[in-house]
Amino acid sequence: MVGIADLPLHKGKVPPWMLKLMEKMSESILKVLVEMYGPDAVLKGLSDPFWFQAFNNVIGMDWDSSGSTTVLTGILKTVTWRNPELGIIVLGGKGEKAKEVPEEVKRIPNIFKIDPEKIVKYSKLAARVDTSFLQDGYELYHHSVIISESGKIIVIQQGMNLHNKLARRYHIDRFSVEEPHSAIAGFTSNPILNATLAESREARKTYIDIISDGPKKIIKMLAETNRILKGIPTLESFLKNNDENKLPKRQQKPYYKPIQPSPQLRKALEDLSNFSPSNDIELCLAPGLGPKVIRALALIADLIYNIPTSTKDSLTHPLDPFAYAYAVGGKDRVPYPYNRKTVEKVVLTLEEAVELAKLGKKEKLRVILRLRRLLDRIRYLDS
């Protein structure tokens, strides 16, 4: 993980005139980055929440807004489809747009020699990871898949906690169930069921073993866990004359509550058993898998087999969220009003530098990049 940042829900939309300028600014920045470092470097940057936030700040969005994710990825989608020569394409988006990835994949320009099925699987796995294997109280409402012409894929998705009105952004850069995130940006959450951590590896193996027993046995074991949670003595505990099955401390875990075997759950377990997953990836992509199924499997694995699933959060320490917030101002006038003239001058400067670079004259681009070193010196003098 790279870092965290609180992302409160902000109301209000970006004015159309400002959105057009943000698109021009983003387009110019992407052209410079691709010219100097290549498409893969841009994806690497976007997989870091604070690089992502810096990009967001530079074009004029507010540093602490939940809307920064949806606006920036939406702008990048518009810009990359308009400029396929950049070697980057953004799919998906907010709400219903997230479901359009399978269809959008079919329309990727010919310069991207990528297996569409690979992209669809990556997209599905990422969504399942942050809804089922990591249950942290945030409901996903945004899902963007970003691809480079070399075949590199990352996913940026966001969830909202309806109780505290805070958002959490997930950056995924590995096709894996175990620790697939490059970072998770958001507010610390509790309680959590986290089957993505390495310490949950044995638990995930146990999930697969439990599924292989078939739906009837799973329902029977689920009923046993419910009796334990409700404090109803089992025959074994009665013979031992003890109360080991009452487990007051375990009640604090997010999945330690009875789960009723509804018709939907029974059907999901039947589908899973018929699919017969043999590893993490197959389990994650299997039909019927959902948050309730994972909670039921985690409950059985812990109470029946004594193999717990981790409840640790996957966040790290916060860095400076105000980095680059003073570039051109903010949409909500923080730290000062959005400066249209400054944006127009920056866009012209970047576009001229890119055009000169295409002619083999990269000195202006090098000068722009050297400004970053000046920023470091200024920070050193201020410290």
- Domain coordinates of the chain in residue numbers? 7-190+316-382, 198-303
Top-confidence range, 58-62, 306-310, 328-332, 333-337: 306-310
Q: Is the pLDDT of residue 232 over 70?
A: no
Q: Is the pLDDT of residue 333 over 90?
A: no
Widest pairwise Cα distance in the chain: 86
pLDDT interval class at 381 (50, 70, 90): very low
pLDDT interval class at 245 (50, 70, 90): very low
Percent of the chain whose predicted confidence (pLDDT) is above 70: 72
Question: Which tokens in the block code for residue 251?
Answer: 């009640």
Average pLDDT estimate for 231-245: 53
Q: What contacts 1, CB < 8 A, 6 or more positions away? A: 181, 182, 183, 184, 314, 315, 316
Q: What DSSP element (H or E) covers 45?
A: helix 39-46
∠ Cα 11 13 19 (to 5°) = 150
pLDDT at 380: 37
∠ Cα 2 55 70 (to 5°) = 90
Per-residue pLDDT reduced to its tens digit, 128-141: 999 999 999 999 99
Q: Which residue has the tokens 């959105």?
A: 19
0.85 exceeded by pTM: no
Question: Which tokens in the block code for residue 305?
Answer: 């087999």
pLDDT at 353: 56
